[in-house]
Amino acid sequence: MERHERLTQAVYNAIDEVNERLEPDEALDRSPDTVLIGEHGTLDSAGFVTFIAAVEEQVERTFRITINVIDVVTAGEPGQWTVAMLTARLADLVDGAEPR
């Protein structure tokens, strides 16, 4: 499995973890187009923090590197963040990171 697919799967695994805590009508879709934050995002602030922690854990488990995902999001342009956007930005960081 290539790096992008592994990153996407890591984000989807984080979505699964968050969805376990949400009501079924609030669950996030496992889709590149899913809006995580922004005008059409469904996560509240607590849900977003939980999601970020889950993504960090999944990336560390998958690639054996530590990435601060909140820095990734806050360093980007304000507005909506989708799964595809987050995965692309994480790919840039994974490429430049040293495994632990």
Domain count, the chain: 1
| pLDDT level of residue 100 (50, 70, 90 thresholds) | low
The pLDDT tens digits for 29-82 are 999 999 887 777 878 888 888 999 999 999 999 999 888 888 887 776 667 788
DSSP 9-30: HHHHHHHHHHHTTS-GGGPPPS
Longest dimension (CA), the chain: 39
| pLDDT level of residue 99 (50, 70, 90 thresholds) | low
Provide the domain limits for residue 13.
3-96
SS3 14: helix
pTM value is 0.86
